[in-house]
A = this chain, B = another copy of it.
Amino acid sequence: MRRARTPVPTRRPTVSDVARLAKVSVGTVSHVLTRSRYVRPRTILRVERAIKRLQYRPNRVAQSLIRRRTHTIGMLLPNLINPSHVDLLHAVEETLEAEGYAVLFGNSQNSPHREGRYLEAFRDRGVDGVITAIAMDADPSELRKMAGEMPLVMVNRQVPGWDGDCVLCDIATGMRQAVDHLVEVGHRQIAFLNGDTRIQTARFRQAAFEAALRRHRLRPAAVSAGVFSVESGYSQALELLGVGVQATAICAANDVMALGVLEALKKLGIHVPEGLSVVGFNDILYARLASPSLTTVHVPYSEMGTKAARLILERLVTRGKSTQQVTVMPQLIVRHSTAQAPGASRPARL
């Protein structure tokens, strides 16, 4: 004996089903749904009862086709390895969900090609806008072209010459705080370990580092580059110290790398911070948990995500009006991976 599966080919109810049951026209059903014109209370009631009985819910695909709004926003990130990007996603999702928007998520993996594919996929699916932290080597003209077709807000990373919406962090200030801190506790020989310099953030951070040093009439003890990963931080540190670079402190371009540096120093038997100071950038959750806990520059990614989401929401009402460039401030968090430079007497306070 076969059980009767699939009770009825139970098609989802549509407006006309509701209309028929409520004995009104489809137009009226639509109007009570969207309250787009006055409907007699009695009629409303009839319609609402029909809706309830049929468990009717409007088909948003059909609505989107005609309203040209999907209530969906695309969010494009260059990776998920960096916990900071996850914070961005988290904040964006939370803010948008509260306003009835859903988020289409894409990972460009830092490839401009994938990024382009995603922007098209988003656009073709009719997203109302996109928030993106661009890939390295992103094509500015491509980006501008897409921005012509839908609201686009840049977050965390910037494309040169971009005058649209964006929310960025003042890296220069953050890096200055880090360098000032190091110099203040007596460091003069500071090395910089960078990520992939094809990524704008990497170039900006290095430039900011060098500028901050110059203010103290100092020059980098060394500068090297790799990629933004634990392994790269690890091997760059090994390499640097292997070739005998004289440095009393290492500045890593981000926390993930800094954790790698810490690993390397552990392996080399160099104590942090007594033997060498280390500072990171971003303040990911695990920076605090490292041992020693990592001194780093806190970047308010959640705040940036929230602001980016609000910006895109605004833009959806003020179609193409005046754009906004928002900048948020980073903040140095001194923990236990930095200390007075070996052999340096405590300098007089400024």
Task: List chain A positions with a Cβ less than 8 A from chain B.
Answer: 12, 57-62, 64-65, 70, 72, 75, 80, 83, 86, 89-90, 93-94, 97, 102-107, 114, 118, 120-126, 149, 230, 259, 262-263, 266, 285-286, 289-291
CB distance from A251 to the nearest CB of B (A): 19
Q: In the complex the two chains form, is A57's CB within 8 Å of B120's CB?
A: yes
Contact of A124 (CB < 8 Å), options: B58, B123, B125, B286: B58
Q: In the complex the two chains form, is A107's CB within 8 Å of B93's CB?
A: yes
Q: In the complex the two chains form, is B61's CB within 8 Å of A70's CB?
A: yes
User: What residues of chain B lie closer than 8 Å to A103, measured between beta carbons?
Assistant: 104-106
Write 15 A-B pairs (CB below 8 A) sorted by A numbering: A59-B126, A61-B61, A62-B65, A80-B86, A80-B90, A89-B105, A93-B105, A93-B106, A97-B106, A102-B122, A103-B104, A103-B105, A103-B106, A259-B289, A290-B291
Contact of A266 (CB < 8 Å), options: B104, B114, B123, B291: B291
User: What residues of chain B lie closer than 8 Å to A123, measured between beta carbons?
Assistant: 57
CB distance from A280 to the nearest CB of B (A): 13
User: What residues of chain B lie closer than 8 Å to A291, measured between beta carbons?
Assistant: 266, 290-291
Q: In the complex the two chains form, is A72's CB within 8 Å of B259's CB?
A: no
For the complex with contacts A57-B123, A97-B118, A259-B289, 10 further pairs of A-B residues with Cβ separation under 8 Å are A57-B120, A59-B65, A60-B124, A61-B125, A65-B65, A83-B83, A102-B122, A102-B125, A103-B105, A286-B286
CB distance from A92 to the nearest CB of B (A): 10
Query: Given known contacts A58-B124, A60-B126, A126-B60, is B70 in contact with A94 (CB within 8 Å)?
Result: no
Q: In the complex the two chains form, is B65's CB within 8 Å of A124's CB?
A: no
User: What residues of chain B lie closer than 8 Å to A290, measured between beta carbons?
Assistant: 289, 291
Question: CA separation between A104 and B127, bound complex, in Å?
Answer: 11
User: What residues of chain B lie closer than 8 Å to A12, measured between beta carbons?
Assistant: 149
Question: CA separation between A14 and B80, bound complex, in Å?
Answer: 36
User: What residues of chain B lie closer than 8 Å to A97, measured between beta carbons?
Assistant: 106-107, 114, 118
CB distance from A256 to the nearest CB of B (A): 9
User: What residues of chain B lie closer than 8 Å to A94, measured between beta carbons?
Assistant: 107
CB distance from A142 to the nearest CB of B (A): 13
**What are the nearest 7 A-B pairs in CB distance?**
A105-B105, A61-B126, A291-B291, A60-B124, A286-B286, A80-B90, A61-B64
